[in-house]
Amino acid sequence: MPKNRQILLDNRPDGEATTSNFKLVASETPALQDGQVLVRHHYLSLDPYMRGRMSDSKSYSAPQPLGEVMIGGTVGEVVESRHPKFAVGDKVAGMGGWQEYSAVDASQPGLLRKVDTTHVPLSFYLGAVGMPGVTAWYGLNEIIAPKSGETVVVSAATGAVGSSYAALAKARGCRVVGIAGGPEKCKYAVEELHFDECIDYRTHPDVKTLSKALKQACPDGIDGYFENVGGYILDAVLLRTNAFARIAVCGMIAGYDGQPLPLQNPSLILINRLKIEGFIVSEHMNVWPQALQELGTLVAQGKLKPRETVAQGLDAAPEAFLGLLKGKNFGKQLVKLI
């Protein structure tokens, strides 16, 4: 039996999350029951939603229990199987958590799915052709629902969601403007991710200057916005919305670590007749097949070239996760486990 190293949530953050909230332990991989398969994880996905699970305040899902393996998406390879539909060597995606191996009850629908790595690299199933990609797809199609020629904006533009959003929006004939932190990310957004423009929020650190930059980048106003960040970026975007603009709210990472960040001028909701809608992609499983198919095709066609930041080894996961919360990653944040 191989050893399985795991990272548990040891205690909850008081304000900002720190590495001391986590604890690394080692155990035996379990003996399989009938219907189970043993997956060796190649990559662990790190995502902002995990910060929400670390707290026990009211949220859309139960908090991560203390003393258990941190939740997380994983891709890997079947190394042992007691389920007829999975064979040793199959590549699979699932929610294996922050650990090197997981034993999965493969008969439960949705827990484990086989993935095809002919045209799509395995790690992409945690990003552009996984949960983040479907998140972009849902917000863009089901909430923003842009017409060709409309201008749509996204924050955290070079992240896993933002990259997919740009490719999907371009495919729908939109002008796509990104917001990201730093000149390197903005350059990448325009040159590799097909954004029409990308605004560096670090050089526009308040509502007034950012809103001015948005006015220049969006001369016809903003028709749709995908919110990953919250805080003053949302305030600045709202000032540039057109009548009947749609805002898909998927993340409020700016407020995760402490006091909630107010929305400065909610009367714009009325003045511009905005629709603002929050969503969680796991509650809309019905769109996943269609979304994953379109995203996989965009990757195969070279129209979606997401970037990855890869931390090496399970030990590196807590530090990489804290960096993600601060925007230190560049593209999809992964941990490589083999």
Which residues form the interface with a copy of itself (CB under 8 A)? Answer: 58-60, 230, 234, 243, 249-252, 255, 260-267, 269-280, 283
Is the Cβ of residue 125 or residue 137 nearer to a copy of itself in the bound state?
A: 137
Is the Cβ of residue 253 or residue 334 nearer to a copy of itself in the bound state?
A: 253
Is the Cβ of residue 33 or residue 270 nearer to a copy of itself in the bound state?
A: 270
H-run or E-run covering 77 = strand 74-81
Is the Cβ of residue 76 or residue 327 nearer to a copy of itself in the bound state?
A: 327
The token pair that represents 114 in the structure block: 């086989």
Q: What is the DSSP letter of 128?
A: T
Which residues 6+ apart lie within 8 Å of 62 measured at CB? none
Q: Which amino acid is at 257?
A: D
Which residues 6+ apart lie within 8 Å of 58 measured at CB? none
Bridge partners for 199 per DSSP: 179
Which single residue is written with the structure tokens 């939109």? 174
* Separation CA 121–CA 113 (nearest Å): 15
Is the Cβ of residue 40 or residue 246 nearer to a copy of itself in the bound state?
A: 246
Q: What is the largest CA-CA distance in the chain?
A: 64
Least distance to a copy of itself, CB of residue 230, Å = 7
